[in-house]
A = this chain, B = another copy of it.
């Protein structure tokens, strides 16, 4: 707890701290009015004083706008999800400052300290971290990464002086001494990680941690400057002039969509037999997947009234109700609106051995949000790559990702809309928005085409289902799902 006696005097420190504190609290007020998330990531060797620094920041800032994060080694439930899941789940609220005593860097650094991780592995970790931070930064989140710099000599001095005083000796552990002995190796790896993860929107800042008072002031000043710079940046971010949302990025998808044969036939009798057969096969495939500790994610998209609900109910009737969850994706809540558009999907990602069916999905970003202008051109254009990263993160973990587009003709949709309005028990499914969206068929077709052309991947393929015939569509979903899951288990 004792402050270093050299460097800044106590009086000078207190005067500067008082000014800084006032500025920080003012800043928090402005952050409330034009909110974005702030992530302050603190890392550095033992003895650099992360704990004390956190306490100081907690004292300076208005606690109602601050959240503190730190991470233990993952629990088994966290290990049963893709690597980034626990970080996505615990991001700070909008307009709040997250103080990260530990972060997505912690595990990588810790494993290195135990010599458990090769440099190539670390470089792969760094790549994943870069994509994650870029995605957050692109979404408007401010990421400030601080490395508290402390020489081996200073570290040794600090540990020895703490140990010498009986009142503070408990602060020094055996692990601290071990890390002190391998200081050079740890420092080299840390420098390597910093280099690999130093990118626009998520820069590393080296702060000298020798003098504790100067250290705390520097970090406070840095936070202040970075938040102000971000506010300026967001103010200047110009809206693109002529929206390009009706221009196709890659027309091959639209051609694929239009070439689809919709007049499929299937008798009720044939359907009854085939349905039970394929339900049985799907049941076996799903159980085999669960036995292999794989998770399954379904994403259902399609025109209004294309029969997503019915197809999902047939599908899930093959699965034990305890093993799956259907997540209907409605308009985002206030909380969700302020979060990254992928956040709410990350939150609902299944653990190994479980299944989640999304009734509408993250593709809303490149469909409704694109066409209705709910996001900027740069945002929906960036989304194709972000979604690709997201699905890759899932499939690399072992999750099986199945994507469905249920396709009906414009005429068939009209017939179904009319039927819904006529039937009292279906009327709640219709509203003015459905009719409005229907009039934008051509625009949506362009968006669907781009989606199919740009996000159809071997590891997460699109199944485009002709759905004018409901029975045919439902069966086709069962068939293709069984086959994709079986294939995923073989590979």
- Minimal beta-carbon separation of A169 from chain B (angstroms): 8
Q: Is A114 in the interface zone, CB < 8 Å from B?
A: no
Cβ 8 A contact of A29, one of B68, B276, B321, B428: B428
User: Taking CB as reference atom, which chain B residue is nearest A50?
Assistant: B321
Interface mask (A69-113 → B, CB under 8 Å = 1, otherwise 0)? 011100111100000000000000000000001100000000000
Measured between C-beta atoms, what is the minimum distance from A29 to chain B in Å? 7
* Closest Cβ neighbor of A327 among chain B residues: B67
The prevalent SS among residues of A at the interface is helix
Q: Indicate whether A120 reaches chain B with its CB closer than 8 angstroms.
A: no
Q: Are B54 and A321 in contact (CB under 8 A)?
A: yes
User: How far apart sit A1 and B59, CA to CA, in the bound complex (Å)?
Assistant: 63
What residues of chain B lie closer than 8 Å to A50, measured between beta carbons? 321
Nearest B residue to A169 via CB reads B280
Instruction: Please name all residues of chain B whose beta carbon is closer than 8 Å to the beta carbon of A58 when the two chains form the complex.
Output: 313, 326
- B25, B71, B317: the one contacting A428 at CB < 8 Å is B25
Contacts of A25 in B (CB 8 A): 425, 428
Q: Is the CB of B72 within 8 A of A75?
A: no
A64 on interface, CB distance cutoff 8 Å: yes
Cβ A51 vs Cβ B424 within 8 A: no
CA distance A55 to B357 in the complex (A): 14
Rounded to whole angstroms, the CA-CA distance of A445 and B277 in the bound complex is 71
CB of A21 within 8 Å of the partner chain: yes
Asked whether B68 lies within 8 Å of A325 as measured between CB atoms, the reply is: yes
Residue in B54, B283, B428 whose beta carbon sits within 8 Å of that of A170 in the complex: B283
State how many angstroms separate the Cβ of A164 from the closest Cβ of chain B: 13
Minimum Cβ distance to chain B for residue A474 (Å): 13
Determine how close the nearest CB of chain B comes to the CB of A22; give it in whole angstroms.
4
List chain B residues, Cβ under 8 A from A284: 170
Of the residues B165, B280, B325, B428, contact of A167 by C-beta under 8 Å: B280
Q: Which residues of B contact A330 (CB under 8 A)?
A: 64
Contact with B along A183-203 (1 / 0, CB 8 A): 000000000000000000000
The answer to whether the Cβ of A328 comes within 8 Å of any Cβ in the partner chain is yes
Query: In the bound complex, do residue A68 and residue B326 qualify as a contact, i.e. CB atoms below 8 Å apart?
Result: yes
In the complex, what's the smallest C-beta–C-beta distance from A306 to chain B, in angstroms?
15
Q: Nearest residue in B to A168 (C-beta to C-beta)?
A: B276
Is the beta-carbon distance between A425 and B75 smaller than 8 angstroms?
no
| Chain B residues, Cβ within 8 Å of A59 | 309, 313
Contact code string A370-404 (vs B, CB < 8 Å = 1, else 0):
00000000000000000000000000000000000
How distant is the Cα of A316 from the Cα of B275 in the complex, in angstroms?
60
Q: Which residues of B contact A211 (CB under 8 A)?
A: none
Contacts of A313 in B (CB 8 A): 55, 58-59
Partner pick for A316 among B55, B71, B72, B277, CB 8 A cutoff: B55
10 further contact pairs, Cβ within 8 A, besides A68-B321, A76-B77, A168-B276: A18-B423, A55-B313, A58-B313, A59-B309, A62-B428, A64-B330, A72-B322, A75-B76, A165-B276, A167-B280
